[in-house]
Structure 1
Amino acid sequence: MNGFLSKMKLIIFFIYIPFVYSASHAFITTYTEINGQTIAGIPEFSAVTTLDGRQIDYYDSEIKMLIPKQDWMKEFISGDRFKEYTEIRERVQQTNKINITVLMQQFSHSHGVHTYQRMYGCGWDDETGASEGFDQHGYDGEDYVALDVKQLRYITAVQQGVITTNKWNNDRAQLEFLKQYYQHECVNWLQHFLKLRKVDLERAPEVSLLQKGPSSPVVCHATSFYPSEVTITWLKNGQEHHEDVDLGEVLPNEDGTFQKTSSLNIPPDEWEKNQFVCEVQHQGRTFRKTVDEIKNNTKSVHCCGFIEAVIRLVLPVLVGVATVNILVYDITSY
């Protein structure tokens, strides 16, 4: 929470989240309420949902609509639940107006611009089946209270949060409800959205051989594939070749697909004496590229291919952090 909320002091709505592939998935909802004189164009209340660090919906107090941010969310928005979640955000918007007023009183703030933020959700590992929930609240970029889901109790790092934690910890029915939500319902929704995303994104890799110049390494670049599991192998005269090979990590593309590279650094005469092939395996299919298909800067028709590929490799994923409220029971009241 410290890293997340400290950034909120400078940037409220757009926060960089590094997206690193793993078997773990995260489903996060964030509400942000601003009190006082706000900047033009920045709404008083906003809510965003993210799945694995990528925004999937958005709501704020100005547009007053829940907007899907991914094409694969179209199936979800066609159902009755989408309307229900829009109404939930409207209710939370009204509740948070009260919450931030109470917080200002607790911190002895009578005027000025102040922020209240709640971030909650769950993580799930599709290999081990392990899951973990979290529910954190912050005020003016600092920790306020947080729910220890394992111990099933709220904790606070500040004196002003003691009244709230005492009140919430005495509501055992609410705590049991949250336990069930984070252990089951939240994970079920996470898995549901993963299935919707997979159907939409499942794609075969686009494979290219890229080279800056005759003496430069040859990069086998596989991109635009989903799911992320992929194998890249260099073959020398039909046999697997592992020397002078630099295998890159799986990286995300902006559209939710993935990319990976494998570079082969050998002298030009080795290319002339032997037959090298890059072999990419994905979802039971095999894709091959030979030396005759190398794109390099000496060929004008391919002058920009390598540069574009490099840019895509280093381009960070910048996502808007917002809220996903699948939690129907509102616990933000003081």
Structure 2
Amino acid sequence: MKGIILLVLGIGLLHTASAVTHSLKYFYTASSEVPNFPEFVVVGMVDGVQMVHYDSNSQRMVPRQDWMNKAAETLPQYWESQTGILKGTQQTYKASIDIVKQRFNQSGGVHTVQLMYGCELGDDGITRGDFQYGYDGADFLSLDKSTLTWTAANQKAVITKLKLDATGAEANFQKNYLENTCIEWLKKYVNYGKDTLERKVRPSVSLLQKTPSSPVTCHATGFYPSGVMVFWQKDGQEQHGDVEHGEILQNDDGTFQKSTHLTVTPEEWKNNKYQCVVQLAGIEDDITKVLIESEIQTNFGKTNRGSNDPNTIGLIIGGVIALLVIIAVVGVVIWKKKNKKGFVPASTSDTDSENSGKGIQKI
């Protein structure tokens, strides 16, 4: 499952609160020969929060947030219609994974076909949309909305590209979905869950260290929304060379966490002013944590320089690893090479089912 990892969130060059952006993303994963795991899984997320789930074992689309039940209040057949669509898509993906395995001359082993698609809506009205396939954690095929053509990432994907480009119907269909239907449903979902999705929760910030020679970790957790910057400063100047940024991960309660690691000797930070700065979208005041000995929580030798639990670091790191494993198995993939381009928002039209007639084809 190497390469089927992580939600990759970009880190901007300027540390300013970003404009409010809402997103609707779907991740489809078909797999072969993965023990004790469904052959087909769908995860739907609004603003980075999982709101629906489907898998080939249960064969039911189910809500992951209480507020998603509001969909059934306005559309009584919502869950039944979505389930029916995904049952059909499941069969399509079962065929697709066999097709691609044949192209790569593979007869067995663990393999995955993935699809990521969705849209974003900024508070300035600018929208974005992406639709792309992956195979075994690598790029395979993606839609170029500007030219209404498909881009093959390797020679094995050219067959699919030529088939889809021949009529242009699929490209037109998906472009219309991304620019219209997806945006419309994103607005509905945000309205359903606005009390949750539009809340602002300040993070708890801690400085952690395994051993005296380990990097010092600035760990921000419990914040919402996910738009956060966590960076280190030395004497008021941002540090880059000795800093490693972790990914933004989701906690069980729907909030988020992020860690940024600073490699520095005790002599260096004791003789200079190092501080961690946390900036959260929607909250004006920065949160700072100055690197001094009494602020560091550790599990070496001393009982707690700042925490009552000497195992704090181990628990946090263990939780992060466990979450990465879950993300890897589910196959939630965003490819790092993704090139997002904005487009002018189009008029929307109502529909009884968000994915009705999505037309996802065998690849």
Scaled by the length of structure 2, the TM-score of the pair is: 0.58
Residue from 70, 75, 79 that aligns with 1:75: 70
Supply the AA of the counterpart residue of 1:82: W
CA distance in 1 between partners of 2:101 and 2:87 (Å) = 22
Cα–Cα, structure 1 residues 106 and 22, in superposed 2: closer, same or farther, change >3 Å?
Answer: same
Residue from 138, 160, 165 that aligns with 1:164: 160
Cα–Cα, structure 1 residues 201 and 169, in superposed 2: closer, same or farther, change >3 Å?
Answer: closer
The C-alpha deviation readout for 1:147-197, integer Å capped at 9, x for no partner, is: 111221101121121121111012233322222111111111122212222
Supply the AA of the counterpart residue of 2:6: Y
Instruction: State the percentage of identical aligned residues.
Output: 35
Q: Contact between 2:121 and 2:183, CA under 8 Å: does it hold in 1?
A: yes
Deviation of the 1:61 alpha carbon: 0.9
CA distance in 2 between partners of 1:200 and 1:331 (Å) = 31
| Corresponding residue of 1:196 | 192
Supply the AA of the counterpart residue of 1:134: D
CA distance in 2 between partners of 1:16 and 1:139 (Å) = 15
Supply the AA of the counterpart residue of 2:156: Q
| Corresponding residue of 2:37 | 42
Which segments of 5 or more consecutive residues in structure 2 lack a partner in the other structure? 11-16, 207-220, 228-234, 237-247, 258-281, 283-294, 296-306, 334-352
Q: Contact between 1:68 and 1:77, CA under 8 Å: does it hold in 2?
A: no
Supply the AA of the counterpart residue of 2:133: H
- 1:208-247, aligned counterparts within 5 Å? none
Residue from 27, 30, 45 that aligns with 1:30: 27
CA distance in 1 between partners of 2:113 and 2:199 (Å) = 41
SS in 2 for 1:170: helix
Confirm or deny that 1:112 pairs with 2:104: no
Q: Contact between 1:118 and 1:136, CA under 8 Å: does it hold in 2?
A: yes
SS in 1 for 2:28: strand
| Corresponding residue of 2:137 | 141
Supply the AA of the counterpart residue of 2:52: D
Confirm or deny that 1:63 pairs with 2:73: no
Supply the AA of the counterpart residue of 1:116: V
Q: Contact between 1:50 and 1:322, CA under 8 Å: does it hold in 2?
A: no
Deviation of the 1:256 alpha carbon: 4.0
Deviation of the 1:16 alpha carbon: 3.3
CA distance in 2 between partners of 1:106 and 1:193 (Å) = 39
Deviation of the 1:99 alpha carbon: 1.1
Q: Contact between 1:204 and 1:225, CA under 8 Å: does it hold in 2?
A: yes
Q: Contact between 2:40 and 2:55, CA under 8 Å: does it hold in 1?
A: yes
Supply the AA of the counterpart residue of 1:327: N
Cα–Cα, structure 1 residues 197 and 159, in superposed 2: closer, same or farther, change >3 Å?
Answer: same
Scaled by the length of structure 1, the TM-score of the pair is: 0.62
SS in 1 for 2:193: helix
The C-alpha deviation readout for 1:71-108, integer Å capped at 9, x for no partner, is: 22121245322221111111111011111111122222
Q: Contact between 2:141 and 2:157, CA under 8 Å: does it hold in 1?
A: yes
Supply the AA of the counterpart residue of 2:87: E
CA distance in 2 between partners of 1:57 and 1:84 (Å) = 14
Which segments of 5 or more consecutive residues in structure 1 lack a partner in the other structure? 1-8, 211-222, 230-243, 246-250, 260-282, 284-295, 297-302
Deviation of the 1:51 alpha carbon: 1.9
| Corresponding residue of 1:124 | 121
Q: Which has the larger radius of gyration?
A: 1
Q: Contact between 1:33 and 1:46, CA under 8 Å: does it hold in 2?
A: yes
CA distance in 2 between partners of 1:169 and 1:207 (Å) = 47
CA distance in 2 between partners of 1:164 and 1:192 (Å) = 34
Q: Contact between 1:31 and 1:47, CA under 8 Å: does it hold in 2?
A: yes
| Corresponding residue of 2:6 | 16
RMSD between aligned residues = 5.0
Q: Contact between 1:19 and 1:53, CA under 8 Å: does it hold in 2?
A: no
SS in 2 for 1:138: strand
CA distance in 2 between partners of 1:180 and 1:198 (Å) = 26
SS in 2 for 1:29: strand
SS in 1 for 2:143: strand
CA distance in 1 between partners of 2:226 and 2:109 (Å) = 47
Query: Would you tell me which structure has more strand in proportion to its own residues?
Result: 1
| Corresponding residue of 1:103 | 100
Supply the AA of the counterpart residue of 1:181: Y
Supply the AA of the counterpart residue of 2:359: D
Supply the AA of the counterpart residue of 1:105: Q
SS in 2 for 1:49: strand
Supply the AA of the counterpart residue of 1:29: Y
Cα–Cα, structure 1 residues 73 and 162, in superposed 2: closer, same or farther, change >3 Å?
Answer: same
Q: Contact between 1:202 and 1:225, CA under 8 Å: does it hold in 2?
A: no
Q: Between Structure 1 and Structure 2, how many residues are aligned?
A: 277
Supply the AA of the counterpart residue of 1:16: L
CA distance in 2 between partners of 1:184 and 1:61 (Å) = 29
